[in-house]
Structure 1
Amino acid sequence: MHSMTGFGRGSATAEEGTATVEIACVNRKQAEVVIQAPRELLELEPKIRKAVLNAISRGRIQINIQFERASGQGSPSSVDLRLVDALESAFARISEHTGRRVSPEAADFLRSPGLIRLEDGGMSGEAAWPAIEPALEVALEQVLAMRLAEGEDLARDLFARLVLLEKIAASIALLAPGRPERYKEQLLKRLRDAGLELELQDERVLRELVVFADRCDISEETTRLDAHFRRFREYMTGSEPAGRSLDFLCQEIHREFNTIGSKASDAAIAQHVVEAKTELEKIREQVQNIE
C-alpha cells in the first residue's frame, strides 16, 4: 500500500549535458501531472507523462526539469552578413562625405538590432532525452520508496483502528439479542405506571413485542459489517492501489453503523455506535492519503 505524498530527485549526464529531475507528489483524488521544463524540452511531455503514470496512479505530481548543456555546447548563433555590409557601406559614405576616415567599432555592430542572432537554446528534446530519462527514473524510484514507507506506516495505523472497530461491532452484536427482552420490561413498566395491568400473554402486548423485535433486528447489518471488515483487510494487503476502494468501504461501514443506531433504539448500543463513528472518521482521514 502506498501513500500519495513523496519526493524524489535524480540527476544524470549524457553527451549533450546534465539533466536534473525533481518530483513532488501530494494528495489528489485523480492523477494530475504538472511539468515545468525549458520550452525546448516540452516536446518530451508525452514520454514523461507516460513514464510517471505507469508508476503512479493517483495524486498531484509536480515535475521540475533542468538541463545544463555540456561544455562547448553553447547556443548557436547567426550573423546577418547583409546588415554587416550595409553598416560598412554606411561608414564608408560617412568617411567620403566628411573627408576623413570613420571606421565602425565592435560596439557599433553590437548595437545594430538583428545583426547577431542567438538561437533559442538550440537543444532538442530528443537530444536531451538520454540524460533526462535516467534522471527521471532515479527520481521516480525515490518517490515510490517514500510513498511505500509512508504507506506502511498508514497501514499499521489503519489495522489497529480496524481491530478497534471490530471489537465495537462485536460488543454491539452481544447486546443486540437482549434488546427485545429489555424492551419488554420497559413496556410492562410503562403500562403499570399508567395503571394498565395487562398480562404478558395479552394479544396486544405480544403483537407490540413481535413488531419491535423484528424492527430492532440488526443481524443483517452486523453480518455486512463483518464482510466489509474482511474486504478492508484484503484491499490493504493487495498489490493494487486501494485508496478509492477503501474510501468507498468507509462510506458503507458508516451506513451500517448509522442503521444499527437507528434500529436498535438502545442507549448502550447507541454509545457504541458513537464510538465506532468517531473511530471511523479517523480512518477516513487516513484513507485520503492512500493511493
Structure 2
Amino acid sequence: MNSMTGFGRAQLDSRLGRFTVEISGVNNRFLELSIRLPKPLSALEPQIREQLAAKLDRGKVTLYVNFAEPDNGSNRAHINKNLARSYHRQLQQLGKELKLAGDLSVSDLLAIPDIVVPERADLDLKLVGTALSKTIASALKPFLAMRAKEGQFMAADMQKSLKVLSSKVKKVEKKTSKAVEVYAKKLRTRIEELLDGPAPNAGRLEEEITVFAERTDVNEECIRFQSHIEQYATTLKSKGAVGRRLNFILQEMNREANTIGSKSGDFDISSQAIALKEEVEKLREMVQNAE
C-alpha cells in the first residue's frame, strides 16, 4: 500500500541545457495533475501527463519544471515595442483618471514582464522531450519511494487498529451470550417480586426470553465484522491502489457496528459498539491518504 504524500527532485545537465524537476503529492479522491512548465516547453504537457498517469492512480500531484539554456546560447534580446506602447498609453490614461502625479520612465516599462524578449535558438522539442522525460523518471523514483515508505508505516498502524477491532468484536460475542441469561434472571426475579411467588405461566415466560434473545442476537453481525477485518488485512498486502477498496470495507464495518448498537439491550455491548465505531473512524482518517 502506498501513501499519496511524497516529494521527489531531479536535475539533468545536457547540451540542451539544465533540466530541474520537482514533484510533490498530497491526498485527493482522484488523480489531479498540476503541471508547471516554462513557456517554451508548454507543448510537452500532454506527454508529461501521460508519463505521470502511467505511474500514479490517486492524489493531487504538482510537477514543476525549470529549464535553463546553456551559457553558450544566444545573449541577444529585443524589445516588444507594440506591447510597450500599449502599456504606456494605458498607464498614462490611468494616471489622468486617478489624478496621479509623476511620469513613466523607460526603466518602468522595461520592468514589466514580456517587454524585453530574449532571443533563443529554436528548440528541438523532440530532443528536449526525451531529456525532460528522463529527468521526470529520475524525480519519480524518490517520490514513489517516499509514498511507499509512508504507506508501510500506515499499514502497520492499520494492523494495530484491526487487532483492536477484532478484540472488541470478541468481547461483544461473549457479552451477547451472557446478556440473555442476565435478562432471563432479571425477568424471573421481577415477576416473582410482583406475584410474590413463581410465575404461573412458565411457558409464556420462556417465550418472552426467546423473543428477547432473537431480537438482540448479533452473532451474524459479529461474524460479518470479523470477515471484514480479514478482508481489510488481505487488501493491505495487495499491490497497487487499494484506498477505495479499504474505504468501502470500512463503510461495511461501520454498518455492522451500527446494527450491533441498535439491536443490543445491554449497556456494555452498546459501549463496545461505540468503541468499534471510534476505531473504524481512526482507520477511515488514515485511509484518506492511501492511494
- Range of TM-score over shorter length: 0.7 to 0.9
- Equivalent residue for 2:86? none
- Equivalent residue for 2:92? none
**8 Å CA contact 2:11, 2:135 repeated in 1:** yes
Matches within 5 A, 1:15-26: 15-26=15-26
CA deviations on 1:95-137 (whole Å, 9 max, x unpaired) are xxxxxxxxxxxxxxxxxxxxx9755774354342232112101
Which stretch shifts more, 7-16 or 186-195?
A: 186-195
CA distance in 2, matches of 1:140, 1:250: 31
CA distance in 2, matches of 1:202, 1:237: 55
1:61 aligns with 2:61: yes
Matches within 5 A, 1:149-188: 149-188=149-188
Q: Secondary structure of 1:19's partner? A: strand
Residues 254 and 230 of structure 1: CA distance in aligned 2, closer, same or farther (over 3 Å): same
Q: Which amino acid aligns with 1:176?
A: T
CA distance in 1, matches of 2:259, 2:184: 22
**8 Å CA contact 1:17, 1:128 repeated in 2:** no
**8 Å CA contact 2:74, 2:120 repeated in 1:** no
1:46 aligns with 2:60: no
- Equivalent residue for 1:3? 3
Runs of 5+ unmatched residues, structure 2: 80-115
Q: Secondary structure of 2:132's partner? A: helix
- Equivalent residue for 1:264? 264
CA distance in 2, matches of 1:22, 1:152: 23
- Equivalent residue for 2:13? 13
Shift of 1:228: 0.4
Residues 129 and 75 of structure 1: CA distance in aligned 2, closer, same or farther (over 3 Å): farther
Q: Secondary structure of 1:289's partner? A: coil
Q: Secondary structure of 1:10's partner? A: strand
**8 Å CA contact 1:2, 1:151 repeated in 2:** yes
Shift of 1:197: 5.1
CA distance in 2, matches of 1:200, 1:235: 57
Q: Secondary structure of 1:144's partner? A: helix
CA distance in 2, matches of 1:75, 1:253: 66
Residues 117 and 258 of structure 1: CA distance in aligned 2, closer, same or farther (over 3 Å): closer
CA distance in 2, matches of 1:286, 1:54: 25
Shift of 1:40: 2.2
CA deviations on 1:168-194 (whole Å, 9 max, x unpaired) are 111111121222221112222333444
Q: Which amino acid aligns with 1:62?
A: T
CA distance in 2, matches of 1:198, 1:261: 33
1:191 aligns with 2:191: yes
- Equivalent residue for 1:107? none
CA distance in 1, matches of 2:273, 2:179: 15
Which stretch shifts more, 26-35 or 212-221?
A: 212-221
Q: Which amino acid aligns with 2:269?
A: I
- Equivalent residue for 2:277? 277
Shift of 1:15: 2.6
Runs of 5+ unmatched residues, structure 1: 80-115
Q: Which amino acid aligns with 1:277?
A: K
Shift of 1:36: 0.6
CA distance in 1, matches of 2:147, 2:117: 47
Q: Which amino acid aligns with 1:32?
A: E
CA distance in 2, matches of 1:245, 1:168: 23
TM-score by length of 1: 0.81
**8 Å CA contact 1:11, 1:134 repeated in 2:** no
Q: Which amino acid aligns with 1:164?
A: V
CA distance in 2, matches of 1:232, 1:36: 38
Q: Secondary structure of 1:73's partner? A: coil
CA distance in 1, matches of 2:120, 2:193: 94
Shift of 1:206: 2.4
CA distance in 2, matches of 1:221, 1:145: 39
Residues 3 and 200 of structure 1: CA distance in aligned 2, closer, same or farther (over 3 Å): farther
Shift of 1:254: 1.1
Q: Secondary structure of 1:162's partner? A: helix
Shift of 1:207: 2.3
Shift of 1:218: 1.0
CA distance in 2, matches of 1:196, 1:155: 60
Which stretch shifts more, 120-129 or 167-176?
A: 120-129
Matches within 5 A, 1:1-291: 1-74=1-74, 119=119, 122-123=122-123, 125-195=125-195, 199=199, 202-291=202-291
**8 Å CA contact 1:41, 1:124 repeated in 2:** no
TM-score by length of 2: 0.81
Greater C-alpha radius of gyration: 1
